[in-house]
Every structure is written in C-alpha cells, then in structure tokens.
Structure 1
Amino acid sequence: MTGLIGGAMRLSPSSGSRRALHTSVRRRISSGGRAFGEAQKRQVELERQRDLILTVLEAQPSARDSRFYLRNFDPASRPARSEQPVPDAPPSQSSRGAETPAFPVFDPETPTTAFSRTIPTNAQSADLSLAAALGISSPSTASGTVTAYKGKTAFADELLSAPASRHTALVKVQGPFTDRQLESIAEGMVYLKKLGLVSIIVMDNERWNGEEERICAMGGLTDADRRERVVHLREEMKRETIRFSDMLEASGGAARPLLEGVLCVKGAAFEDTWTPIASTSARPYEEGAATDLFVDSLSGIRNAVRQGEIPVIPPIALDASCFSLCVSANDAVRAIASGLADAEKRTGLRYEADARLQNDVDLTPLRLMVINREGGPPSHARGGDPHLSINLESEFDYISKTFNWHDTHPTALSNLALIRDCLADLPRTASAVIVSHRSPRSLIANLITNKPAHSPSLAHDLLPRRNIQHQPTIIRRGLPIRVSRSMDDLDEDKLAHVLEESFGKTLNREPYYDRLRRDLDFCIIAGDYQAVAIVTNERLHDPETGQPLVNPETGEEEEAIAYLDKFAVLPQLQGDGTVDFLWGALRDESWGLGLLDALNPNVGGLGGQGIPRDLVWRSRSNNPVNKWYFDRSTGFFKIPPPPSSKVGFALFWCEANRVDEYERGKKEGREVRTTPEKLKEWAPVIGKIPSCWK
C-alpha cells in the first residue's frame, strides 16, 4: 500500500507524469469499455439465439418435419459433396413395410424436397445450437444432454445448426413500413439465413407506384423535369434499399445492397419509357401481362449468396443508354425469378462464364415470399380471413373473378398473379407464401414444415380465431381438379396405376370396375390421375338377382349411402398439398354441398348447388392414417372384424350440415334420423363391401 501511495505521490508533482497517468487511465477505461461492449454483444447474440430457438419450437415441428428439413437443407454435419457416398437406389413400392398406411394421405407436416448444393461456410456460422443456450461447450456432451432434454423429438439441436449449403428464397418486401416493422422483418430474414435459406430481397413500396403514375399523368413537363423526378424517385429507392440493408446488418446478418447492374430493359431508351416499366403490368392479374425486364448479370447475387450475404435489390434497371430507370417491383421479381431459374443455362452470358461459379451455389429459389401490410388474399369461405392454402391451377381464375376486397387489399390480385408467373418458371417443388409484416417469424415455421399454419382440410370451426387475420397464405402451383360421374369418362389404366401405386397392392380390375359401373357416384381427379377420390352409392343387394333390396314398409329402394371407396395420391406427390385440395373438393361435392363456402370452380363439379349427403368410409383399425381421419370426420365407430380376418374396421363419417332441415322436421312432426339410427343402417352395408385387391 505504501509503495502504491508513494508511487502516486511521486507522479503528482510532474505535469508530464500527470499526463501519462491520465493517458493510462483513459486506456484502461477504453479497454474496459471495449470489454463491456464485447460482453454486451455476446449477450445480444445469446438472446437472439434463444429467440430463434423459441421461434423454432413455436413452429411445433414433428419428427417428420425435422427429418425432412435436415435432409433437404444439408446440415453442417453432412460430409462435403466429394466425400458423400453414392446413394442407393430407392426401394420399390412392393418393399414398403407393413406399417406403411394403406394409402398415402397427405401429411401436412411434410415439406417439399429441395435442391442440394454444398459450399464451404464460415466456421463461425455453425455457432447457433441448443448447446450455446444451455451453456454446454463440448459438442459430444451437448448432443447427449440435449437429447435428454428433447425426448422423442431429438432434432432441435440439428435444426439450429447452420447448414453447409445455401438455398435461396426470392422475397418481395412491400412497404411502406416503420423502422420497427422493418426491423422485425430484418430479424426474420436473418433467422432464415441461419437456418439455411438465404433471401434475395427486392424492395417495394406502395408509394412508389403512386409516384410513377403521378409522373406519367403530369402534363407540360419537359424532358429535363421528367428526368429529374425519376432521378428523385430512384434515389428514394436506393435509400430504402440501404436502410433495410443496415437493419439486416444490425440484426446480425451480412447484407449486400445491389443498387444497379442486375436488371436491364430490353432495347429501351429513356425517352421511350416515360412511364416506368410498371405500364407493362397495368392490370397484372389479366393474361398477357408482359415485362420488358431481364437479368443482365447474376454475378452480384451469386457472389453474395456464396459469401452468406443477403442481396438487397431496388426495382431499378438500366436502359440502352445506361440511364437508371425506376421499374415495377413486380416486374423486377418476375425477371429475377426467371433469371435465377435459368441460371444453369446462363454460363455464356456476361460475367457468368467463370467455371468456378457454376456448381457451388444453386440459385434456383426454393421459396417465393411476399411480405406486406395486407397479408394473404381474403377468402369467402373464411369470412374474409386469409386463405390458408391456394391451388393456383384450380383456384386462380375463380379467386380473381369473385374478389371483392379491392379497397382493403388493393395489391392482393397483383401479388397472386406475380406468384403464379414466378412459380411457372420454378420447379414444381417450389412454393410461395404471402404474409403480413405482423407475423414475419411464421416464415420460419413455413421453412421447417412447409405447411400452412393450420391444415385447410380441417373443418373451419376447429380452427383458432386468435390472430387468424395475420396468418400466412401458402400458395402452390397445384394440379387442376375435375369431377367425373361416369366410368366412360375415366381412363381405367391410369386409374389402376394410381390406386396400385398408392396402396402398394395389385388391383383386381374386372370385378372392381364392374362394381364402379353399377354404383359410381362421382370420381374426383387431380391432374393426370396423380390423385383420385372415388365415391360410390352403396345399398344392400339381393345376392341372387343383384338388384337393390326394397324397403318392405315403403316398397321403395333404400336411400343409397355415399361411400368414400378410394382416396389415393401418388407417393411422389406427398407433401405438396394435393391431398388437402382433394379433400376440399370432396367436401364440396358431398357433406358440404349447398354451403356458401362450397361454391368451388372444379370442372364437372356441382358448384355448390344441391342437397348435402353424409359421407361414410371405413379404414382398418390399425391404419396409421386413422389419426388424420379423426381430425376431419364427424365421428367414428368400431366394426368387428369379419370371420376371415383378425383386424377390424373403423367406420368414419362426415355428417351433412342439415341443421335447418333437422329443426324444420321437428316442427313439422316428421321423423328425423339420429346418428345412432344411421349407424345401424350404415354398418351392415359398409361391412359387406368386397375387397378390390388380389
């Protein structure tokens, strides 16, 4: 102590010594400030990791979700491309285990497949895991400890490991947004990047379209005035791009603003385009909306994705005179989607001839996203709430014709048309999502599960009402759906193929088709027989004559039972939403017929006109698909096994919505059958339906 005091006292008389002391103190304070700043940064990063973990857990990924996500997004633990063994040939359908469902009903938890391209990644990028949140340093220890916490779903740690590959999503951020709203969107984009999906972002602002129209409508402006206004709008676009890039950086993600050089206008000079290129898409939801934009170079986007950076692009394009034009963000997204999808063929273009750029990054977008203030397109069936899922092939025209929310959702149709055009250029496995800025983190759930927030095949009454107006809309290319009511309209070979592939059994064609010719009610066909739903009219028949039995009291034939005879989907279509679309069409043709939300546009359908009927079907008691049925049926009833089998059946039914008829029958004194009475009629009829398999 004396030495310290003496040392201090010896320094005090000298001004030079005082300056040295002050310098030393400042250095210590500065060093302490840096240490405090580093600690604060670590704390912020830890909070972000915990927030990401909670967001993933809120998505409630099942074991199947996790396995598909890890398989498709190549986690960091996966060996390098050159080290990976050649995969074995896929097993044949006949080798499927006994636990395979009798037919592959779409599991809404199953995501689509993705492209697989591995590239080197930064070692620091693999830092996100549950081990960090739990304070575990050893990877081996972390794995064991995390497994103990996770129980049966032992995938959370892998979900949060940074993938070794870079997949891309094309995102349109459609403002205007406040700083807080834009920060929330930026956090969502950074989280997606940490989970392996690098967003290629195109900025948009509803004010920009209004400014473009105002410039076009102004009369008496000289060329210089028009050019000055376009320059002002262009600078605003660049500022917004840099603003969002800064927010991405502040949220922990590397961003690269690509202000110019990505897009070009086909042979246009400034004086030929007084209106920005939006004029080519004045009514974008109509057929024939063309665009004059194309991608001039992908090198900036490719380099950014390779480095793990998020490209941010304003809707600006160069014309023939190298003047920067303000263009429609929708047209920019269309052009970029087409360019990215065609990237493998662009090696001969300028800046794309470098062979090193060809095989390290797959630029084909896996997802297309629109983040706006409106949310998804409203649905009549959901009382104005957003669609949960849209099948573009069968629903686009109907939605466009019946849309009446132009005031509250002015860009819904143009965004839907944008997605239709982009998905047409992308692989069928690609999907799109439209989401409100209020729920950007739902994009994480969509990435992991690739399913809507709630299955659209569930009854609307079972869906929660909380925050439903901000739930995302999942959009797929889908398949056209048509309804046939005669065997003469069906291709028997294709029908047999889809049934045998789906069930993994051999169809006894002749007796089965004979029964369909006699009892077929309707058959719903998705695409070119990729999926079918067959409904028959079932009655008890005289074993000698084969004619329907007559009610001895009334002398008339018994009312036929609508029986779901087959519900089949090709295995390769599982996960793309086909089953939900098929189930919706089945509902609209049977127990939901006549309801306001059953006005479906399917070719050959009843269009909502008619009397609803109870739909009945059976399934073996040990069928794993029964859980899916439990959620969608009105009820079920166990049927004892037949003498030749040890396994019984579960009889499911969806009861027609005839509340008005029931109440009217009670008032008029007419007898209205109750469910137990119906079961007594259904069980013997359904139990005698013969098997159609060899």
Structure 2
Amino acid sequence: MIPHATCSRAVFAASLKAKRSQTFKAFYATIRGLRNPSPDPDETSVPEHDFVLSILRANPSLRDTRSYLASFGPRPQTPPVTAPADISLPPSQSTVQPPEQPIPASEHPKPSPIVASILNPVVRRTALVKIQGPFTDVQLDSITRGLVYLEKLGLVSVIVVENDDLPRGELDERAAIIEETMRVVTSLEKHGARARPVVGAVVRLGPKPCDDERLPDDGIALPEAHTVPSDLIPIRSALRAGEIPVISPFAMDSFCRSIRIDANDIIAGLARGMVEAAAKDNSKRGDERDDTSEDVDLTPLRLMIINREGGVPSYARSGYPHLLINLVSEYSHIHDTFHQPWHHSHPTALSNLSLARTCLAYMPPTSSAVMVSHRSSSSLIANLITNKPAVSSSLPHALLQGNRKLTPHTPTLLRRGLPIQVLRNVSDIDRTKLNALLEQSFKKTLEQDRFYGRLEKTLDYVILAGDYAGAAIVTKEPCPGLEAPITYLDKFAVLPSHQGDGTVDFLWVALHDESYGLGLPFSANPNGGKGGKGEGQDLVWRSRADNPVNKWYFERSSGHLRMGSWVLFWCDAEKRLEIEKGRRGSSGLSHVEDWEEGRLVKWADVVFKIPGSWRK
C-alpha cells in the first residue's frame, strides 16, 4: 500500500508541476493586488472584494444555508394547481423547451445553488450594531463596507455610535458626537448604501413603568433606558425607506431634555423595545405575511459590537479571545477569571459582555451576539451565514493553539446558552425526557429495559445541556488486561431543534472537561462537574462508518480505526500527553508510545461487544 501511495503522490506532484509555472504569475498578481504597501496593518485599506467571494469565504454548509433561508428566504407558498391528468403532456414533451423560445447560444454559468440562495434574500431582518470608536477613516471604511455587505444579504443594521475618547460633560460633546454620527453616515453612503442620521433621542432614561411590578428571575439587570412605540418612528421610517439608521447616543430624561448616555444603555433599551414592537406588529398582522412588504422585521437577529479591542480574553487561551460563550453557564466564571492586566488592554470587555447578556435575554433564542475588532469586520458575513464562531471551541486544545485563525482579533460569539449539569446516578435521570431526546436525535426506538439495565451497572456520568436539550452519556467498561476500565462515550445526542445553536459545542467542551481534559487549567470550566480537578482519562467511542457526523468526530478525536462497518474513535488524556512530551523534551513523542502498545486491540475487543440500544 505504501509504495502505491507514494507513486500516486508522485504522479499528482508531476501534474501540479506542469501547471505551476503558468499559474504562479497569475496567483502572485492576485495576491499582490489584494495587498497595500502600507506597513501598518491597522491602517491598511482593503480593496473592494467581490461580494460573492466574501460569501464563499464563509464556507457555509447545507445546514447553515437552510438556517439562513429560514430567516431570510421566502415563506412557503401555496402549491400550484396541477393540470388534469387527461391534458398533461407526456414526460418526453413536458421537459423539452418550446421551439419559440430557443436556447441562447451562450449563457453565463449558473452560480452554486448555495451561493445563489444566499444572494437572493426576500425577508429583511435587523441587527443592533454598536460602532465603538474612535476609528480612523480607513478603519471606519472597513467596518461600513462589511455592514453594507450584510445589508445585501438581508440584514439591515440599526447602528448606535460611541466614541470612548469623548468624555461626558464636555462643553462641545454633543457636536462631537453628531460629527461622529455623520462620519459613519458618509462612510456608508460611500460604499453605496443609503443611511439616515438619527440625532434625536430614541430611548427614555429610567426604568419602564411596568418594571416596578416584576423583577427578573434570572439575575439579569433591567435596562437603564426604555422605549415607547412612538420613539421607534425614526427607525421605522428609515428602514421602510431602505436606509440604515445611524443613531447618536442621546436619551430623553425626566425633564424632556436630550442628554448623552452610555451607548450600551441605548442598545439595551432598543433591544427590548424593538422585540416588543415586533411582537405587536406580528399580532396585528396575524399569521399572514407579505414577503413583498417594505416593512422590516424589527426583532433583532444579531447584536454586533465592533470595537478596537476585539472579543473577551480567556485565561484558557493565554489571553486570546473566547471563541464561543455560553452566557447562562459562563458569565460569572468569566468575571472571576478576568485577569487584572486585561482591565487595561480590554477596558470595555466586561461591560460589553453584560450588554450581550441583557440584549440576548430579550432577543429570540436563535439570536447571537458577536464582539469583533475592526480588523476582523469581514468575519461578520461568516457569522451571519453560519451563526458559528470563526473556530470551533470544541476542537482539541492543541489544535486550537496552533490554529492560524486564532489571533488576538478573533471574534467572540456569544449565545444565551443553556445550563450544564452532571448526573452521576441513574436514579437522577428523567427517563421520559432522556428517551425523547435519544429517539428524536437518532430517529430510532430505544430498547429501554436493556439500555437502562446496562446503565445501572456501568454508568459513570451523564452531562445534560438545558432541560434535556442535549446529553453525553459516559460509561465505565471493564477491560481485561488494563488496570482501569475504558471511559466509553455511549451516547452523544442533541435535539434537532438545538442543532446549530451552539449546544453541540457546549456539550462537547463539558465532555472534554470531565474526561480526557481533566487535570489541566483550561478544563476548570463551570460545567457542574469536577472543575478540572483529577486525572484525565482516554475517551473511546464507536460510530457507524456511514454516519454523517463522523467528519465532526474526525476533527475532535486523537485518532480513529476503521473496522468493517464501524469506526473506533478515541481522545487521549491530554495531561498524560503533556507529561510525556515534557519528559522527552525536544525529541517529541514517538509514533507509538509504550503505554499505547496493544491498547487498540483491547479497546476494540470490548467496545464492539457492547450490545445495541435500539429496537430492530
């Protein structure tokens, strides 16, 4: 097999070499054309990229496209009335183009169906955007170009302008803020968008009158500002006219004066007010909706915080940003692990984190927030289409450390998220809910007596996301010849309604922290388990060879072994790998360590004898 593979590589290399000379010059010219000779990357002016290329760089999957179309695509239409059977054309005639409509001699190639579907949004949605300057003209152009691209995809920005270098109380602060607002408007129009400055107050300072009657039960503070329906008239008017509203951070106080307040309070008040206004619009409109209407759905689909410092720094990534944050589970933990130097390098990270938490509490569960540096504004397109972080947070830690996409300016994606808990006794499991989760996820009927009978003997723990929205079931399987039993991932399941909303990554990160990641500092996450304390264990599982999820498993496992119609996966205990690597120093690890010798055979002998859990 090896000589054949070597020969194949040689043939492939030869074919590439034949074309390399004629393609290199064009490739170099393309790259050179995308560069600016300015040595400061912060001041680099990015040329106008092809819009379709920006979408392709997002690399949307079929699931991503379906999710995008669910928000921006046409609503299902009534199927056309079919002709009676006695007058229908034969199949051979019905598929032939009539002669009076000849096929053109030359046609432009049709774009990819995925790209074509994304390029034709029907329903327009809104995003709340905080532009947190100050920014140079070049930086602002980069930001507004990204926002104009989003508008072409159907996401219209409602922008609130902030400038951290303009202290409050200055004599000319109002004029300075209005000037910043007009800079954003001018930059948007430069890139072909229509924008409207809104320099009047769109929120009212203080709590909403009805807030006195109820208090939040989730610990989230109520917004410091609120709106009434008439306050949103300038925003509605701009959206209906096809314009992007650009709002100055002014609010009306109890004396009916327009005063400058923190942009975060403006955005939080707008998030709540726009969601409530959209709910009233939908109740008046009823279930019927005209896709050709000029109205824009006021419900914010995204919260985008564009600043100079980027996302929230993480202790687990040596100060590089968090990739994906589960606000329900991680909010307090992030505050507790926020290092003192970050208060100077990322002075607004925690306040923006609080803003995201407040806004997402009112926005739909499918909504997300993104904190991004102005240097990564192009990533907003990928976030809109995929609604995923730039790099998956559930990838192996070693792979994340060496990933070129992970930089100080990598965006942080934030979701409302779900609570994570760990159960260690079968008696604590709600069998009805777990049955529903497993059967909906696997689309099979569970053999309950056999399944729970086995768990009674072998269960190690169950990690739950939310109210049985997802679960990872781990067992201890005795293995002859090994001192410790095998840590076996028996089931990993997420409800279809939660696939694509971050639950899969939240669940796998918790699984990592409780198994092969134990004992390392970055595993001390608030997952309701051991808090990172303990000895890591190799995690082993099996999957059908034709399982479409295997691609996801390949990226997260240390290795795999194909055995007939099955694939054996495993994740090595990371702490042991770190110890071995330290012992060997610069020589690194060998291909097969002494402690690895023969373990695959022993694992396979046990794992493939585990009885199935489904009815045949």
TM-score category, normalised to shorter length: 0.7 to 0.9
C-alpha distance 62-508 of structure 1, shift in aligned 2 (>3 A): closer
* Structure 1 SS opposite 2:314: coil
The number of aligned residues is: 521
Letter in 1 for 2:598: E
* CA RMSD in angstroms, aligned pairs only: 3.1
Alpha-carbon separation, structure 2, partners of 1:401 and 1:682: 40
- Matched with 2:461 is 522
State yes or no: 1:655 paired with 2:572: yes
- Matched with 1:330 is 264
- Structural mapping, 1:627-646, within 5 Å: 627-640=551-564
**Does structure 2 conserve the Cα–Cα contact (< 8 Å) formed by 1:662 and 1:672?**
no
* Structure 2 SS opposite 1:471: coil
Shift of 1:238: 1.4
Aligned-pair identity in percent equals 51
- Matched with 1:485 is 424
Shift of 1:58: 1.9
* Structure 2 SS opposite 1:370: strand
**Does structure 2 conserve the Cα–Cα contact (< 8 Å) formed by 1:146 and 1:157?**
no
Q: Decide which structure has the larger Cα Rg and report it.
A: 1
* Structure 2 SS opposite 1:593: coil
Alpha-carbon separation, structure 2, partners of 1:267 and 1:675: 62
**Does structure 2 conserve the Cα–Cα contact (< 8 Å) formed by 1:266 and 1:294?**
no
State yes or no: 1:370 paired with 2:294: no
C-alpha distance 361-141 of structure 1, shift in aligned 2 (>3 A): farther
Shift of 1:384: 1.0
Per-residue CA deviations over 1:247-293 (Å, capped at 9, x if unaligned) read: 1111110001111041222499xxxxxxxxxxxxxxxxx96465144
C-alpha distance 666-177 of structure 1, shift in aligned 2 (>3 A): closer
C-alpha distance 158-498 of structure 1, shift in aligned 2 (>3 A): closer
- Matched with 1:181 is 139
Alpha-carbon separation, structure 1, partners of 2:319 and 2:106: 46
C-alpha distance 572-628 of structure 1, shift in aligned 2 (>3 A): same
C-alpha distance 292-192 of structure 1, shift in aligned 2 (>3 A): closer
523-532 or 177-186: bigger deviation: 177-186
* Structure 1 SS opposite 2:537: coil
**Does structure 2 conserve the Cα–Cα contact (< 8 Å) formed by 1:265 and 1:317?**
yes
Per-residue CA deviations over 1:279-332 (Å, capped at 9, x if unaligned) read: xxxxxxx96465144355211111211222100111101224332111111100
Letter in 2 for 1:488: S
Shift of 1:53: 2.2
Alpha-carbon separation, structure 2, partners of 1:142 and 1:677: 65
- Structural mapping, 1:489-568, within 5 Å: 489-539=428-478, 558-568=483-493
Alpha-carbon separation, structure 2, partners of 1:427 and 1:438: 28
Per-residue CA deviations over 1:644-664 (Å, capped at 9, x if unaligned) read: xxxx21110001121355479
**Does structure 1 conserve the Cα–Cα contact (< 8 Å) formed by 2:391 and 2:406?**
no
- Matched with 1:570 is 495
Alpha-carbon separation, structure 2, partners of 1:156 and 1:143: 22
Letter in 2 for 1:190: V
Letter in 2 for 1:263: V
C-alpha distance 62-142 of structure 1, shift in aligned 2 (>3 A): farther
Shift of 1:460: 3.1
Find 1:244's aligned residue among 159, 184, 188. 184
**Does structure 1 conserve the Cα–Cα contact (< 8 Å) formed by 2:207 and 2:226?**
no
- Structural mapping, 1:147-162, within 5 Å: 147=110, 153-161=112-120
C-alpha distance 451-347 of structure 1, shift in aligned 2 (>3 A): closer
- Structural mapping, 1:279-294, within 5 Å: 288=221, 290-294=223-227
Alpha-carbon separation, structure 2, partners of 1:453 and 1:664: 31
User: What 5-or-longer segments of structure 1 have no aligned partner?
Assistant: 1-46, 88-137, 216-228, 269-285, 349-354, 541-548, 552-556, 641-647
Alpha-carbon separation, structure 1, partners of 2:195 and 2:387: 25
TM-score, with length taken from structure 2: 0.79
C-alpha distance 662-180 of structure 1, shift in aligned 2 (>3 A): closer
- Structural mapping, 1:129-140, within 5 Å: none
- Matched with 1:321 is 255
Alpha-carbon separation, structure 2, partners of 1:462 and 1:660: 14
Alpha-carbon separation, structure 1, partners of 2:106 and 2:299: 33
Alpha-carbon separation, structure 2, partners of 1:444 and 1:143: 33
- Structural mapping, 1:287-302, within 5 Å: 288=221, 290-295=223-228, 296-302=230-236
C-alpha distance 467-684 of structure 1, shift in aligned 2 (>3 A): closer
Letter in 1 for 2:300: P
Shift of 1:577: 0.7
Letter in 2 for 1:241: T
Shift of 1:390: 0.7
- Matched with 2:365 is 428
C-alpha distance 661-408 of structure 1, shift in aligned 2 (>3 A): closer
Find 1:384's aligned residue among 319, 333, 340. 319
**Does structure 1 conserve the Cα–Cα contact (< 8 Å) formed by 2:71 and 2:123?**
no
C-alpha distance 288-427 of structure 1, shift in aligned 2 (>3 A): closer
**Does structure 1 conserve the Cα–Cα contact (< 8 Å) formed by 2:124 and 2:297?**
yes
- Matched with 1:191 is 149
Alpha-carbon separation, structure 2, partners of 1:367 and 1:293: 19
- Matched with 2:108 is 145
**Does structure 2 conserve the Cα–Cα contact (< 8 Å) formed by 1:374 and 1:409?**
yes
Alpha-carbon separation, structure 1, partners of 2:501 and 2:328: 13
**Does structure 2 conserve the Cα–Cα contact (< 8 Å) formed by 1:666 and 1:672?**
no
State yes or no: 1:311 paired with 2:229: no
C-alpha distance 519-347 of structure 1, shift in aligned 2 (>3 A): closer
- Matched with 2:9 is none
Find 1:409's aligned residue among 323, 332, 346. 346
Alpha-carbon separation, structure 2, partners of 1:691 and 1:462: 33
Alpha-carbon separation, structure 1, partners of 2:104 and 2:309: 46
Shift of 1:201: 0.3
* Structure 2 SS opposite 1:407: helix
Per-residue CA deviations over 1:488-511 (Å, capped at 9, x if unaligned) read: 221111111111111111111112
**Does structure 2 conserve the Cα–Cα contact (< 8 Å) formed by 1:200 and 1:311?**
yes
Shift of 1:69: 2.7
- Structural mapping, 1:471-482, within 5 Å: 471-482=410-421
Shift of 1:144: 5.9
- Matched with 2:397 is 460
**Does structure 2 conserve the Cα–Cα contact (< 8 Å) formed by 1:347 and 1:358?**
no
Alpha-carbon separation, structure 2, partners of 1:417 and 1:141: 58
* Structure 2 SS opposite 1:567: strand
- Matched with 1:62 is 61
Shift of 1:529: 0.6
- Matched with 2:599 is 678
Alpha-carbon separation, structure 1, partners of 2:305 and 2:488: 41
- Matched with 1:584 is 509
- Structural mapping, 1:42-81, within 5 Å: 51-74=50-73, 78=74
Shift of 1:67: 4.3
Structure showing greater relative contact order (alpha-carbon pairs closer than 8 Å, 6 or more residues apart): 1
Per-residue CA deviations over 1:421-480 (Å, capped at 9, x if unaligned) read: 000001101111110001111101111111111111112332423562111111111110
TM-score, with length taken from structure 1: 0.70
Shift of 1:72: 2.9
C-alpha distance 317-143 of structure 1, shift in aligned 2 (>3 A): farther
* Structure 2 SS opposite 1:264: strand
- Matched with 1:18 is none
Shift of 1:143: 11
Alpha-carbon separation, structure 1, partners of 2:65 and 2:450: 43
User: What 5-or-longer segments of structure 2 have no aligned partner?
Assistant: 1-45, 81-100, 209-218, 283-288, 586-591
* Structure 1 SS opposite 2:461: strand
* Structure 1 SS opposite 2:518: coil
- Matched with 1:690 is 611
Per-residue CA deviations over 1:191-249 (Å, capped at 9, x if unaligned) read: 111111100000111123xx22xx4xxxxxxxxxxxxx46x222221111112111111
Alpha-carbon separation, structure 2, partners of 1:396 and 1:682: 39
